[in-house]
Amino acid sequence: MSGRTPTPAPTASSSRVLICDDQQLIRMGLRMVIDSQPDLTVVGEAADGDAAIASVAALEPDLVLMDVRMPGLDGLAATEHLCAQPDGPQILVVTTFDLDEYAYAALRAGASGFLVKDAPAEEILVTVRAVLRGEVMVAPSLTRRLVERFVLQAPASAAAQHNRLAALTEREREVLALVAKGLANGEIADRLFVGETTVKTHLGRVLTKLGLRDRIHAVIFAYESGLIRVGD
């Protein structure tokens, strides 16, 4: 934890946010944006992964804004540790938007999406609130671009992942494939001539059957299992 202006006490209804980045100016900027909102409170800061893990244990934040490249324990290792906890916080990767392998690995480890370091304040707040609601605020095209760049480096066994597809119905596979191709729920509904609620139901069953956290991890699984291939 770093020395700084005292953190305002969180209200009963505010969401608790921990900022983890080795650059003090980045932490200060994110703190200013988060603390400007009545429903969000920065409860702490950390400059590396070890400090983030210790701070999560002590402060119990709802969300961690996690940089990936830090000295000592990096954000990837910290994300893997925190996402393995049964009641761990949501993790939002803080990235320079160069789509490096660390960010991809962080998503595979359980992070819920991306936050660009130089994003406008309004975009930061929309992203933070969406992740706190359990949503994933990453454009499908960006998710696909990231997966296409690094899927060949993924350590998971394609054969083992492919076998897991047997748990899905034909329609659930269709929905998963269209999600992986970057279509939004409404577009999938139009393509399959069903209601958007039906698409959400199918996607929910896909996530449950495959033990996936969210839409991003569904896209990653679709590529790693061979359901979708780069260039499809």
Secondary element (H or E) of residue 204 = helix 196-210
Using CA atoms, how far residue 74 sits from 27, 51, 53, 99, 225, in Å, is 16, 10, 11, 16, 28
Nearest alpha-carbon partner for 17 in 128, 127, 110, 176: 128
Q: What is 113-134 written as a DSSP string?
A: -EEETT--HHHHHHHHHHHHTT
The average confidence (pLDDT) of the chain is 84
Q: What is the pLDDT of residue 86?
A: 84
Whether the pLDDT of residue 12 is over 70: the answer is no
Greater confidence (181 vs 31) lies with 31
Q: What is the pLDDT of residue 153?
A: 54
Tens digit of each residue's pLDDT (9 = 90 or more) over 123-149: 889 889 988 987 765 655 566 666 666
Secondary element (H or E) of residue 142 = helix 140-150
Task: Tell me the C-alpha distance between 71 and 47, whole Å.
Answer: 9
Task: Tell me the C-alpha distance between 68 and 184, whole Å.
Answer: 28
> If pLDDT is split at 50, 70 and 90, which confidence band does 203 have?
very high
Task: Tell me the C-alpha distance between 82 and 19, whole Å.
Answer: 14
Whether the pLDDT of residue 154 is over 60: the answer is no
Tens digit of each residue's pLDDT (9 = 90 or more) over 55-113: 999 999 999 999 988 999 999 999 999 998 888 899 998 887 666 677 777 777 888 88
Angle CA 33–38–40, to nearest 5: 60
Write the CB contacts of 76 (distance below 8 Å, at least 6 apart in sequence).
Answer: 68, 102, 105, 106, 109
β-strand pairing of 63-67 with 40-46: unpaired
Write the CB contacts of 88 (distance below 8 Å, at least 6 apart in sequence).
Answer: 56, 82
Whole-prediction pTM value? 0.71
